[in-house]
A and B are shown apart, each in its own frame.
Chain A
Amino acid sequence: AQRVTQPEKLLSVFKGAPVELKCNYSYSGSPELFWYVQYSRQRLQLLLRHISRESIKGFTADLNKGETSFHLKKPFAQEEDSAMYYCALISYDKVIFGPGTSLSVIP
């Protein structure tokens, strides 16, 4: 069964510290993965797609097929990074979301 797991419900880091939000998936085919972010009082929005291999707002995510992971990383956390982060996987004609991780960056 296709599934996305995010083991941490809450993650707190100090400003300037590195941050890693974990995402693991199970999928039988070649996966397409995303990270979405929801800032306080804003709508959910796409952060990055693995096929773009892009860096958005200093965040990167590398697909590791061996470990079936797509962890989101940033070397130096900023206060404005505090938000809810969702990892998502395309499964046939729909997208499956993980349960989300709430990131809190402590000033």
Chain B
Amino acid sequence: DGGITQSPKYLFRKEGQNVTLSCEQNLNHDAMYWYRQDPGQGLRLIYYSQIVNDFQKGDIAEGYSVSREKKESFPLTVTSAQKNPTAFYLCASSRGTRTYGYTFGSGTRLTVV
């Protein structure tokens, strides 16, 4: 059963701690993306990766970091430098030819207290 899996679904962290969100896909997609979804602001791109061992900053990369050591995995670390980390985070993948559209994960809701 192919798809894209994000874990955990809910995550709570204390302010000042780094936290890593997992995103795994078995669709053999080349490209993977991280978005942040906030009410009234739509989806904002954090980081994306077109191929293994390469990634680019999106529109709101400050305070975040990623790695792409394997094609299937694209974890996102929310660092203590991110000023407003409480949000809903969405991971997506695509074949690489963008016209096919994205497949999205179910998201991780991060709450920093």
Contacts and interface: CB of A to CB of B under 8 A. Distances in A.
**Size class of the B contact interface (CB-based, 8 Å):** 20 to 34
Interface string A6-44: 100100000000000000000000001010100000011
Contacts, number: 50
B42 A97 contact: yes
A27 to B, nearest CB: 14
Nearest to B38: A99
Contact of B106 (A6, A43, A95, A100): A43
Contacts of B107: 43
Given A94-B58, A98-B42, A46 B102 contact: yes
**Size class of the A contact interface (CB-based, 8 Å):** 20 to 34
Interface of B: 33, 35, 40-45, 48, 50, 56, 58, 90, 92, 98-99, 101-102, 104-107
